[in-house]
Amino acid sequence: MDKIEKLLRRICEKDRLALKETVKSLFIGEIKGMDIKKIKDTDFFRIKKGKFRIIFHYNKKDIIIDSIKLRNENTYK
pLDDT of the residue at 5 = 83
pLDDT of the residue at 45 = 93
Contact 45, 57 (CB under 8 A): yes
Sign of the dihedral through C-alpha 37, 72, 76, 20: negative
Cα–Cα distance, 26 to 72 (Å, whole number): 23
Tell me the residue type at 28.
Answer: I
Cα–Cα distance, 9 to 16 (Å, whole number): 8
Which has the higher per-residue pLDDT, 77 or 62?
A: 62
Q: What is the mean pLDDT of the chain?
A: 85
What domains appear along the chain, each with residue ranges and CATH number? 3-70 (3.30.2310.20)
User: Residue 73 above 80 pLDDT?
Assistant: no
Percent of the residues in the chain that have a pLDDT greater than 90, as a whole number:
18
pLDDT band at 75 (very low <50, low <70, confident <90, very high): low
